[in-house]
Chains A and B, each alone.
Chain A
Amino acid sequence: MSPEELDRIAGASGAEIPADLGERLGNAVLAAAAAEDGRSARRTRFGYAAGAVTAVALASLAIVLSLPHAPKDTFDDPLLAYAELEKTFSYISSKVDRGLDIAAVAEPAIEKTTGAINNTINKKSK
């Protein structure tokens, strides 16, 4: 069968398309992507594969030796943990920053009020 013939067949109606074809193919592509993602996630950004293996082994050992009833580490890979820690500090910083912004806006009003109060106290004491 030539490609032209197959192209004609592709455009013809007839075969009923399975309802879940799109979903099935989407899952297959996702599985392939996930497998690839899983393999690349195991390789560190710095090509420190041996260290990552050691790190995981040490983490496992450390978990066994850790406090009883301690939860399990969310991450096996210290690089992923590092990225998460970075995001956490960023989040905390953003909240601190927001508080400081609000305080900064209020500062002139506070100073004005304080000034007015001090003036009143000074006048009364005279």
Chain B
Amino acid sequence: MKKIIAIAAAMLLTLTAFAQKDGQKIYNKYSDAKGVSAVYMSPSMFRLMGSLPEMTVGEGEVNLTPIISSLSGLYIIDSENPDINADIKRDVEHFVKSGKYEMLMEVKEDGEVVHMFTTGTEEIVTGFVLLTYEAESCTFICLDGQMPREQLEIMISDSQKKKEVSN
């Protein structure tokens, strides 16, 4: 279980122009499509988040400050448009195949398929892609940056613990 969490905790993409370009390509292609909600956070925004004053982390909240300094980009495409979901899935699959990504996890349940991919070294997690797909909806999350694996592992575990506390 720890190993899976450790692998799952490898969530940052390399800062290679190629990887960033593809995540950005997918974002640019679909962000204005009908039925799509899109979120982009730039390296600058992560720097700004990192320089926010000491925040009070309430019950049920996770302190993301340790991880923020090592993040440099976030792309989210959340589609409720069944006409383009298959295209998004195909583009993401092409993206991870052509980059140096390994499948970290696959979960299939109730018609929903979840894939997670990572890239990086044993010490540093440099890339993470999550694709959630079902006929009616599709979510693509792509994270850029560089993060010590252990730190990310702790943060992911904390996210789960805090969720349980707040539920």
Contacts and interface: CB of A to CB of B under 8 A. Distances in A.
Contacts of A88: 39, 74, 76, 141
Interface stretch (B45-53, B88-96, B119-127): B45-53
B74 to A, nearest CB: 7
Contacts of B56: 46
Interface in A70-113: 70-75, 78-79, 81-82, 84-86, 88-100, 102-104
B130 A73 contact: no
Contact of B105 (A84, A90, A91, A99): A99
A52 to B, nearest CB: 9
B101 interface: no
Interface residues of B, number: 48
A97 B1 CA distance: 10
A30 interface: no
Given A62-B43, A82-B55, 19 more contacts: A48-B53, A70-B42, A71-B24, A73-B45, A74-B40, A75-B39, A78-B48, A82-B49, A82-B68, A85-B41, A85-B68, A86-B64, A89-B156, A92-B156, A93-B156, A95-B132, A96-B116, A99-B106, A99-B114
Interface of B: 1, 4-5, 8, 11, 24, 27-28, 31, 38-45, 47-49, 51-53, 55-56, 61-62, 64, 68, 71, 74, 76, 105-107, 109, 114, 116, 128, 130, 132, 139, 141, 155-156, 159-160, 163
22 contacts: A51-B52, A51-B53, A62-B48, A63-B44, A66-B44, A70-B42, A74-B38, A74-B39, A75-B45, A81-B48, A82-B64, A82-B68, A85-B64, A88-B74, A92-B156, A93-B160, A95-B116, A96-B4, A96-B105, A98-B107, A98-B109, A103-B1
